[in-house]
Amino acid sequence: MTKVWRSVVAAIAISLMTWPVQAQGDPVTQAKSLFNAGAQAYERAQYPAAIQAFEEAYRLSPRPGILFSIAQAERRQYYVDKQPEHVLKAITLYNEYLASVPQGGRRSDVVQALAELEPIAARLEAAQRETPGPAPAPPPAPPKRQTQLMISSTIEGAVLSMDGGEAKELPFIEEVKAGKHRVKVSAPGYFDDEREIVAPEGGVVALDVTMRERPARLFVKTDAQAEVSIDGRVVGEAPLVQPVDIPAGKHLVTITRGGRKPFSRELQLERGELMTVDAPLDRTMQRYLSYGLFSVGVAGLVVGGAFGGLALREQGIAQEIYDRTAQGNVLSAEREALLSAIEQRNRWREVSSATAVSGAVLGAAGVLLYLLDNPTIARTPAPEVSPKAPTPRKPRRSEPFMEVLPAPLISPDLKGAMVEVRF
């Protein structure tokens, strides 16, 4: 028979002056771990292990909801092995629950379960009375409690190896020998979790392992002196000597350098993955133009200097003719040569000045274009920089559930706190 497991809320007010801070190993935390381990065993139809875990949880934190869970596991176990004691124990626990919860809670489910089990118990009792036999033997000693190890994790694909044995999938719910055990939990993309556990004789050790993600690693090959950014954050200047550790997920990688076309790419990296990005950068058109203008400017200065040299040569010729004519009569031919040399000097001087000034302007423009050639990319982080951490699997409505939620409680007569426990 399928049951709908609804939430039962128990509120407890405790004075803040007398309520110590709970540590990791406090009874409520241990009870929650045991209850969750029992719920996993219940889901896998390992009802004896579930019963043992629930009973340990109830011993540490006696709450009606755990009584209900034990009764449910006892009822299911009866249909597995047909042992009458499971029916009787389930009926007893259901009645204890009704006495503890006068209204609300799981009373309707309990009434339905009792309506199912009480006729079975009556038939078993009638069959025992009708069957003649020897005097009833003394009740057998209670079975020896098994030493159980229950290890779970929310990480998909996690496996456990105990004492160097073969790896087994989680959740791991098995009977083990009492004493120390070395367990290692592994999962792709996560660091191994290795620890020593002491299993007490006849006890239950419940452990929910939270694993640490391995970062993704990104190695960038690009031009020297290029600036490498990930999600808008500068991580270094090329050449990078080692890969960059980043969380798994989507990341925006940008590479920029003066005079080079910027590189931008969105990457999806998995946990533990090593990815290499080879991104040579091409020169920009502005950089080519700056080189061209600078070269033309330098050439203009050189040509202007050459023209200046021609102007000086004509100046020398004119000066020589002038010096000769100053000593005597000036011949008509010499006069014409002097005027021609002066004219050529002036012409070359004008051409030299214009060429040199043009070269200087073009060269300066080339230098300016070179200095201003620093292309950038808007550093907008990529969406979903890192995937959300796996959330614990929500139990189905057909399985046991317990949740402990502390909350402040303030009233005119009481200052304290409330602990909400959901089963």
The residues pairing with 175 across neighbouring beta strands, listed in sequence order, are 148
User: Is pLDDT above 50 for 415?
Assistant: no
Closest CA to 158 of 56, 54, 271, 53: 271
End-to-end CA distance of the chain: 20
3-state secondary structure of 383: coil
Considering only CA atoms, which of 70, 101, 97, 100 is closest in space to residue 86? 70
* Residue 138, pLDDT score: 58
Question: Residue 218: is its pLDDT beyond 90?
Answer: yes
CB-CB neighbours of 216 under 10 Å:
24
What is the mean pLDDT of the segment spanning 144-167? 86
* pLDDT tens-digit series, residues 269-317: 999 889 999 999 988 898 888 889 889 989 989 988 898 888 888 888 8
93 has a pLDDT exceeding 50: yes
What is the distance between the alpha carbons of residues 22 and 11, in angstroms, rounded to a whole number?
Answer: 17
What's the pLDDT at 151? 87
Of 226, 183, 231, 189, residue with least CA distance to 208: 183
pLDDT of residue 416: 46
Confidence of residue 19 (pLDDT cuts 50, 70, 90): very low
**398 pLDDT band (50/70/90 cuts)?**
very low
Q: For the chain, what percent of residues have pLDDT higher than 90?
A: 23
What is the spatial distance between Cα 209 and Cα 187, in angstroms, rounded to a whole number? 11
With a cut of 80, say whether residue 369 has pLDDT above it.
Answer: yes
For the chain, give the mean pLDDT: 79
3-state SS record for 202-218: CCEEEEEECCCECCEEE
Contacts of 48 (CB under 8 A, 6+ apart): 77, 146
Neighbouring C-beta atoms of residue 89, cutoff 10 Å: 19
pLDDT class of 380 with cuts at 50, 70, 90 = low
User: In angstroms, what CA-CA distances link 228 with 60, 232, 238?
Assistant: 55, 9, 7
Do the Cβ atoms of 181 and 162 come closer than 8 Å? yes
3 state DSSP class of 222:
strand
Q: Which amino acid is at 293?
A: L
Residue 362 CA to residue 293 CA, distance in Å, equals 5
Higher pLDDT: 414 or 155? It is 155
Q: 125-134 pLDDT, tens per residue?
A: 888 777 665 5
- Residue written as tokens 């159980």? 148
- Which of 92-101, 119-128, 265-274 has the least mean pLDDT? 119-128
Quick check: 46 and 152 in contact, CB under 8 A?
no
Does 7 or 294 have the greater pLDDT score?
A: 294
pLDDT at 23 over 90: no
Q: Which residues does 132 contact at the CB level (< 8 Å), separation at least 6?
A: none
Task: Using the predicted structure, report yes or no on whether residue 96 has a pLDDT greater than 70.
Answer: yes
Q: Which amino acid is at 348?
A: W
Q: Is the pLDDT of residue 65 over 70?
A: yes
Q: Is the pLDDT of residue 233 over 70?
A: yes
Question: HEC profile for 42-111?
Answer: HHCCCHHHHHHHHHHHHHHCCCHHHHHHHHHHHHHHHHHHCCHHHHHHHHHHHHHHHHHCCCCCCHHHHH
Residues 220 and 251: their CA atoms lie apart, in Å, by 13
- Average of pLDDT values for 24-46? 81
> pLDDT value at position 307?
83
- For position 228, what pLDDT does the model report? 92
Cα–Cα distance for residue pair 270/216, rounded to 1 Å: 6
Mean pLDDT value of segment 220-249: 90
Q: Which amino acid is at 313?
A: R
Which range has the top average pLDDT, 241-245, 397-401, 406-410?
A: 241-245
